[in-house]
Structure 1
Amino acid sequence: MPLTDYDVLLWDFDGVILDSMHIRDLGFEKVLSEYPPEQLNELLNYHRRNGGLSRYVKFRYFFEEIRNEAVSEDQIKYLAGSFSDVMRKMLINPDNLIHDSVSFIRKYSSSVEMHVVSGSDQEELRYLCKELGLSEFFSSINGSPTPKTELVSALVERRSERFALIGDSMNDFDAAKSNGVDFFGYNNTDLAGVGSGYINSFAAIL
């Protein structure tokens, strides 16, 4: 079914609306600069394989799985806050927008209900969308620490409209599948053949 025939579109943010993965890498490098480089590289590999997971999960993975040490919720929150401070400074450059998808959002947001569901920090997302002039196009902007599966569930429960989620990771596909939502991959050819279709370019839809 064409994207414009859905009643509601759910959008991942990083890698779909904003080209930010390389900047997220820098954020982890800055926040965890005191730790051994080989451990940081292991975290970055995990981060790149799991784009849809929140930084809260990734910081916990760093300590519990890579460093084999306990970490408190307060420590995780502190690190996540420091990471967000770096992101707010580095990600407000409009040159990082993926104009292919953003052009589609701007054109169709008045006719199709749209929401952001992301693994990135919710307050940070709302700040970035405001600074980048995107807030007006979305009915809601939702992020971590709530897991993406729960974010999607909260939007689709008790509603009968036709939903689709657009994402660039298997975590996005899993969140869609677990909630009975159609999934379209974008900006990651490993997702071709997964879900309801793959979007090579939104320009062909405009």
Structure 2
Amino acid sequence: MTRKPRAVVFDCDGVLLASNRLKTAIFEQVLQGAGFAAADVARFRVFQRANFGMSRYRLFDALLGWQDLSPYPATSRDALCAAYGSALYARYVRCPATPGMVGVLRQLQDAGVPLFVVSGSDGAELAAVFAERGLARWFAAIHGSPATKVDNLALVAAQLGIRAPMPEVVFVGDAEADWKAAAATGCRFIYADHFSTAKRRMRALAAETGFPTIRDLRGLVPLL
């Protein structure tokens, strides 16, 4: 760590928890249970993986806005979100952490770096999961949806007593939504590649824009 950052902000899925595949499977389970056609479930799978980091609220809104769904099930965004949360929670609590995660959090906390979570996951659900897993103690705050990542990064700035742009704040993510939120608020972005569901797109963006890439969190500290 050459220069201590003002704070490090982490996305959750694919960065702190190896939960990307789990969430994709739960999305499919929920849509199948709600009566969506197999072809529409498959189409949503592609959309969801390409837009990982987008909240379930926005993902389901997008799905229900597709005009060519056949059949169009008698459901709603709120019903789909409730079914998703119910199916996810117990497995979310047990899913593996990414390699070296706790050691990296400990190293940063010991160095006096404030740590935050900004995720597309439901905020209340994520706080409960982190509390049950014993992870909440590492973070100054845990922010999730339905607020956007840009809005939640603004909350982090307020908690730090600074304003955007904030290049002294590092945001570690694995999806285009993370990079866009970092760009919108002037954070420094670092891409965690190993568990990303959009590797081709993110690697192309890294080559185009120059943001650094790590395989997983074990490569983070030397870049700070």
Q: Flag whether TM exceeds 0.5 (same fold).
A: yes
Q: Quick one: distance in 2 between partners of 1:54 and 1:89?
A: 19
Task: Give the corresponding residue for 2:121.
Answer: 120
What is the Cα deviation at residue 42 of structure 1? 0.8
Task: Give the corresponding residue for 1:197.
Answer: 212
What is the Cα deviation at residue 129 of structure 1? 0.6
What is the Cα deviation at residue 153 of structure 1? 1.8
2:183 corresponds, among 157, 167, 177, to: 177
RMSD: 2.5
SS at match of 2:65: helix
SS at match of 1:99: coil
User: Residue type matched to 1:36 in 2?
Assistant: A
Task: Give the corresponding residue for 1:20.
Answer: 19
User: Residue type matched to 1:135 in 2?
Assistant: A
1:108-187 alignment, distance < 5 Å: 108-110=108-110, 111-157=112-158, 158-159=161-162, 162-187=168-193
Tell me if the contact between 1:92 and 1:132 (Cα under 8 Å) persists in the aligned partners: yes
What is the Cα deviation at residue 106 of structure 1? 2.4
Q: Quick one: distance in 1 between partners of 2:76 and 2:98?
A: 33
Aligned residue pairs total 203
Tell me if the contact between 2:98 and 2:216 (Cα under 8 Å) persists in the aligned partners: no
User: Residue type matched to 2:214 in 1?
Assistant: I
Deviates more, 1:78-87 or 1:9-18: 78-87
Return closer, same or farther for 1:172/1:67 CA change in 2, 3 Å cut-off: same
Tell me if the contact between 2:99 and 2:217 (Cα under 8 Å) persists in the aligned partners: no
SS at match of 2:63: helix
What is the Cα deviation at residue 119 of structure 1? 0.5
Q: Quick one: distance in 2 between partners of 1:3 and 1:9?
A: 14
Runs of 5+ unmatched residues, structure 2? none
Q: Quick one: distance in 2 between partners of 1:51 and 1:156?
A: 24
1:59-70 alignment, distance < 5 Å: 59-65=60-66, 67=68
What is the Cα deviation at residue 71 of structure 1? 10
SS at match of 1:65: coil
User: Residue type matched to 1:203 in 2?
Assistant: R
Tell me if the contact between 1:185 and 1:195 (Cα under 8 Å) persists in the aligned partners: no
Q: Provide, for residues 134-179 of structure 1, a one-character-per-residue CA deviation record: whole Å limited to 9, x for no partner.
A: 1000010000011111111222255167211000011101000100
TM-score, normalised by the number of residues in structure 2: 0.81
Return closer, same or farther for 1:135/1:16 CA change in 2, 3 Å cut-off: same
Deviates more, 1:59-68 or 1:128-137: 59-68
User: Residue type matched to 2:45 in 1?
Assistant: L
